[in-house]
Structure 1
């Protein structure tokens, strides 16, 4: 049967006083150490003894000693109290300067082109911060899964998140390899995609993503078909380079391959604009120094470009 364990309110009251008296074997010296009066120290210990239900000290006019109950209480309470003090110091340190582990949830495609340069310069600037990057496509609940921040396309970020822009707006472009386009021809209009092998993405909710396009200034979504379904942009991009089919991807991740001639754009007049990529996190009031340092670093790096 499940049992509920709770710490009573005030259960730790008097423990520090007890430990100080046990160390000095003197109420007067313990009171001086903690900056209280001897009578206050005595009252704190008496209250603790009442809650424990046992006498912890043997008191005489000349000395203070521990009872058997006091010895047993000291053996368990001292290391536990020291652990609480150490935990408080660690939490205080994390709250006062950039240190500890910074956990980021990011899509795989942004790691090589956007995040790696930021991480490298940030780690050099803040060697006491340990950066952990979880690269996956699905959206996560930052608080539930213990992440400090995430990076996503702006249209996928919840309205209650605080955001920091990482890139300007860019286009979602349709690309294919020269070999594929020579063999299958170049689509000229969105309707032409029905005759092409289109590489598709499956969203984290299990649905197949249609291709968003812009037609006469109007946003449209085209249901495409093809030989490959993947969960991330890098996979469909690689398949497009290999000539498997056409892929629709964010322009920045295809820029190098376009410059190298490994891919070519098609349907350029119909490429929709998206808001860009953003760093996002829950609440300004809850921002720890490690995350604040990363945010400031991101802003500084953007200003230098």
Structure 2
């Protein structure tokens, strides 16, 4: 029997980890058909089925689970060895994959990525936005970006940008029909744009003033799962929305939106880039972290 090659084993590992031929292809920069061909060839060489496939799911067979457990350590060692080859380059190279919330991507990553690409022409950057948290290690990301309070404890965090503040906004036309709320409980008589987390939990609006915290389960006929659409709904006059002040600063300055309850505005930490504490940093990530630290006037990594 001919031995399986590394590309077939890498495809097998990616499909097993991600549970999808399409996601595995995206991670490996291959088409779904190429991934399917690699798995089919591997199964033919072994004379075994490695996956149980249905139209909705892909699951490992017993033989597939055994193979995955045996090859994963070796594949990790090969990946580390290849990454270490970058240490012999004059400048970092490779692809940097970062998982981010959409707001963080727009506000703090996109302003710095063009400079990073100009400094390191051999590095490619892939930003993938998710409103919910993902396991960056399991999903094959080098790093993630979220607010500090959402960063897992076993991760190293690097602050990006300045602390943020939430603000409640509505259009002038809306406030021509409704009196502006003066305290958080006044929102109970307003039309609000509600937000549901990917987990299914509804977001209750948070407020703070002089050390007093308030949480309001606001009413509203529109519920969304995307922060960008929340702002769009507010601009369309659907109701009040709560969002980061930096996201709507231009709309406020232009008079398209009016902020209210500003003395109750909730401040949050700055966005934070995070990565596994125990993982050896690939050169591309190290270069990106150093650029972030430089922008904040901090020393780079040793």
Scaled by the length of structure 2, the TM-score of the pair is 0.69
Gaps of 5+ in 2: 1-47, 49-61, 71-77
Superposition RMSD in Å? 2.5
Report if the CA contact (8 A) 2:194-2:224 is conserved: yes
Structure 1 residue 263 and structure 2 residue 252: aligned?
no
Report if the CA contact (8 A) 2:83-2:282 is conserved: no
Q: Report SS of the residue matched to 2:194.
A: strand
**Change in CA separation of 1:119 and 1:284 when aligned onto 2, cut-off 3 Å:** farther
Of 187, 191, 196 in structure 2, the residue corresponding to residue 197 of structure 1 is 191
- Counterparts of 1:41-60 in structure 2, within 5 Å, are none
Give, in whole Å, the separation in 1 of the partners of 2:67 and 2:116: 43
Matched residue, 2:219:
225
Structure 1 residue 167 and structure 2 residue 161: aligned?
yes
Structure 1 residue 149 and structure 2 residue 143: aligned?
yes
Q: Report SS of the residue matched to 1:181.
A: helix
Of 116, 123, 130 in structure 1, the residue corresponding to residue 124 of structure 2 is 130
Structure 1 residue 183 and structure 2 residue 177: aligned?
yes
Deviation at 1:95, TM superposition (A): 5.0
**Change in CA separation of 1:5 and 1:255 when aligned onto 2, cut-off 3 Å:** closer
Q: Report SS of the residue matched to 1:258.
A: helix
Structure 1 residue 238 and structure 2 residue 248: aligned?
no
Deviations 1:186-233 (CA, angstroms, capped at 9, x unpaired): 111111101111111111211001000114421121111112111122
Q: Report SS of the residue matched to 2:112.
A: helix
**Change in CA separation of 1:89 and 1:138 when aligned onto 2, cut-off 3 Å:** closer
Deviation at 1:284, TM superposition (A): 6.0
**Change in CA separation of 1:5 and 1:262 when aligned onto 2, cut-off 3 Å:** closer
Matched residue, 1:278:
272
**Change in CA separation of 1:241 and 1:93 when aligned onto 2, cut-off 3 Å:** same
Deviation at 1:303, TM superposition (A): 3.6
Matched residue, 2:113:
119
**Change in CA separation of 1:262 and 1:302 when aligned onto 2, cut-off 3 Å:** farther
Of 84, 102, 123 in structure 2, the residue corresponding to residue 92 of structure 1 is 84
The structure number with the bigger radius of gyration is 1
Scaled by the length of structure 1, the TM-score of the pair is 0.68
Q: Report SS of the residue matched to 1:109.
A: helix
**Change in CA separation of 1:110 and 1:285 when aligned onto 2, cut-off 3 Å:** closer
Matched residue, 1:214:
208
Structure 1 residue 110 and structure 2 residue 100: aligned?
no
Report if the CA contact (8 A) 2:99-2:143 is conserved: yes
Gaps of 5+ in 1: 9-85
